[in-house]
Amino acid sequence: MLSPLQIKKQTHFFNILDFDRSGTIEEDDFEAIGDNLSIVRDFDMDTVEYETVMRLTKGIWGNLVPFVKGTQGTQEQWLQFMTVLLADENEDKYDKYVRQFVSTLFKLFDINEDGYISQTEYIDLFIGLRIEVRFAPKAFRNLDTNNDGKLSHDEIIQSVDEFMKDSDPKAPGNWLFGDWEGTVV
């Protein structure tokens, strides 16, 4: 069962994924996210890079399909998906999901392929997902736990874990997707 704080953070994440703001998530939202991320990365359609981005974003949708009734997923279904994913008995499945998610983030945003996500690259993530950019510097500072001005693979994994699992409102990873505190449940 998700804690009230986890529900608030997952509702925030659901709202980000609901790209057309229809109140549900559907395959078109993930396609639109892929298109937007490709624009940020300056990938032309009909290129390998564009197709890779689209495959990655549609893959996220593919993981949700078993929890969706019909062609649209509700917030309630999203929270059920997260409840199942975060259950203790699904720790292996969760670890695989997080590794795949972090790998996807790095493929999409480590533009110079140096093994780190810079603040500029992180801001591109916010732009691509249409998260209020004004929160990106604060979010970046929170996630950069060793204060070296870049986000490592381990820092992102720690941040995703805190965002997904932690019930401490002060956990730095809560800022992974910007201002979750303003989310109305």
Q: What is the mean pLDDT of residues 36-49?
A: 90
Q: Domain count for the chain, please give it.
A: 1
pLDDT at 18 exceeding the cut of 90 = yes
Q: 3-state class of 183 per DSSP?
A: coil
Does a structural domain hold residue 128? yes
Does a structural domain hold residue 173? no
Residue that is written with structure tokens 């290129």 in the block:
47
* pLDDT score at 70: 82
pLDDT at 45 exceeding the cut of 80 = yes
Mind listing the pLDDT tens digit for each residue in 57-70? 888 888 777 778 88
* pLDDT score at 98: 81
Does a structural domain hold residue 104? yes
Does a structural domain hold residue 177? no
Per-residue confidence band for 182, with pLDDT thresholds at 50, 70 and 90? confident
Q: What is the CATH number of the domain that holds 65?
A: 1.10.238.10
In angstroms, the CA 80 to CA 64 distance is 10
Least trusted range by pLDDT, from 28-42, 57-71, 87-101: 57-71
Q: Residue 66 sits in which domain range?
A: 4-168
* pLDDT score at 67: 76
Q: What is the mean pLDDT of residues 77-103?
A: 88
Does a structural domain hold residue 135? yes
The pTM score is: 0.88
Strand partners, 26: 72
Q: How many CA atoms lie within 13 A of 23 on its CB side?
A: 0
Does a structural domain hold residue 20? yes
* pLDDT score at 185: 65
Residue that is written with structure tokens 């993930």 in the block:
30
Mind listing the pLDDT tens digit for each residue in 129-167? 999 999 999 999 999 999 999 999 999 999 999 999 999
Percentage with pLDDT > 90 across the chain = 64
Contact assessment for residue 33 and residue 129, using Cβ atoms and an 8 Å cutoff? yes
Does a structural domain hold residue 181? no
Q: What is the mean pLDDT of residues 77-81?
A: 90
Does a structural domain hold residue 179? no
